[in-house]
Homo-oligomer: A and B are copies of this chain.
Amino acid sequence: MCHREMTTSWKQKVEKKRSQLRSKIPKQWILDEATLEKLKSEKQSLNENLDLLCSKSENEITHSTILILRRKLSCRELTCLEITEAFCHRAALCHQVVNCLSEVMFEQALNSAKLLDDNRPEILPPLYGIPISLKDQCNIEGVDTTMGYVGRAFRAKTTEEESYIVQLLRGQGAILYVKTTVPSSMMATDTVSNMFGLTLNGLNQMFSPGGSSGGEGALIACGGSFLGLGTDIGGSIRIPSSYHGLYGLKPTHGRVPYLRVDNSFEGRELIPSVIGPLAKDLADLRYFMSVIVNICKPWQEDVKCVPYHFDLKELQTSRHYTVGFWFGDGVITPPPSDIRALKLCQDIVNRTPGFKAVNWQPPIELNKELHSIAMEVDIADAGTEIRQEFAASGEPMIDILKPVVLEQCHLPCSVNHWWKLNKRAYDAKTAYRKYYNSFSADERPDIILSPLTLAPFRPGDMLKTTLRYVLFVNVLNFPSLNIPITTIDSKIDHLMDITQAKCAEDEMVMTYWNELISSGDVNGFPVCLQAMSPTYDDNLVCKFGTWLATELIRDRA
């Protein structure tokens, strides 16, 4: 096939795919030009504007929580169909503005909802009638999983290919109605592809939704979903959560089953991708986890899952807790908003009887080593696999993949080099653990609170941000929960002093922050921190999140 044919062909496929997607949105939900224009121009008011386009009862549903709707379903105050319709409608509207959906399954979803209503069981399954959105990677029978690649379009998945988690969700009564956009290959923290174009931030359309679970983040933030599944190999759950003020849990590997979920670099197990929930409500997130873990016992089918119990209890206030505060890695200076958020939490910890705040300050060289391992892992195959995916359709490489798709002259590394990289990762993890154990028993942090994304970025500016507070957590395989703390306020979150920059990267990040603050566009943007614990302590991370969120609400009141 000559190059020209190939070019025509991939563009045609894109056209066909996009038009199919649009055709699955019922006509009455298609926005007219004027409304669409208004929604797109009022960049920070999408949620409020969407409320005006939905009925009062729809808004009541989409602004509710899983646990509340479950009670309403239980006492027949609502039907599965009503709930599903409300979410399909909202998701359709949201998508037309921020372009967050990759697959629309409204028809199937509404049919499933009717079926559930018509065959209502005595005891409602734990996710009965609850719509759950899915990152594009999740395979559903009869539906594409493109992961943003044109070459993967129009190859609907078979029953055998369906993701185990999809089967579990359906088995628990959940309604599957949409899949959400990702950057091609998922190896980027913006959300753009030749296939679907650019996804925008749902809270502030001047900014990126983050990635790679960017479509998920935007959809949930706009009320188009309560809770969706994302994956995280380098921040892909946490970053979109952070950029939308959501709770996002990157669990320890082996908590939520990844079996038959498509991915890049399958079999690259040095830094395993994990799958986990993004949600507006932390109680919903924890409920969801308890269903998937305690009820579904996924280790019975997915050999990568570890037997485990997900705990719904609260922190035992009778116990002593230590919280480590990380004010910086010694390479990149966190912005004033993050420092303010950390201090706000430190005050809360300090005022709470039985709680203690300590400084978390791992050796700078160790922070650098963990980050550099992550970077080397990402370029281990020099982009071979991703390049093949693009070549399959002839679509052009996209800019945001430049960090992982090297020039053609680079070769994939040998297996010996790869094993050495594994060993380096083990050594670095061991050293990190050693630093952790260097604290005396009553000063050793149960939880570490750390910066995460530092600042939002505008579409196209991904490479002006840093992943230095993100990737090390994937190397360590620590559970990490993104927690919304406050919002950016340019009156108090001042410009940074670039002359104090520690290195070129630090200067780049500071300069970008100053531009954002000067523009005023970031006012009101969420400021989030991540709460981490050593591997396997997912329960502690979630309990701490609930406690902190409650204290933050009390503070605001």
Contact = CB atoms under 8 A, between A and B. Distances in A.
Interface of A: 259, 265-270, 299-304, 306-307, 380-381, 384-385, 411-424, 426, 429-430, 432-434, 437, 476-477, 535-536
A410 to B, nearest CB: 12
Nearest to A434: B301
6 closest residue pairs by CB, A with B: A267-B422, A267-B419, A267-B423, A412-B414, A303-B429, A415-B418
A300 B430 CA distance: 10
A430 B259 contact: yes
Give the number of times this chain occurs in the complex, counting copies.
Answer: 2
Contact of A385 (B416, B430, B433): B416
Nearest to A411: B414
Contact of A426 (B304, B414, B416, B419): B304
B300 A426 contact: no
Contacts of A381: 414-416, 419
Contacts of A433: 300-301, 303
B300 A269 contact: no
A387 to B, nearest CB: 11
Contacts of A265: 419
Contacts of A268: 415, 419, 422
B415 A300 contact: no
Nearest to A259: B430
Contacts of A302: 430
A270 B299 CA distance: 19
Contacts of A413: 414-415
Contacts of A414: 381, 411-415
Contact of A415 (B303, B412, B423): B412
Nearest to A303: B429
Given A414-B415, A535-B303, A267 B430 contact: no
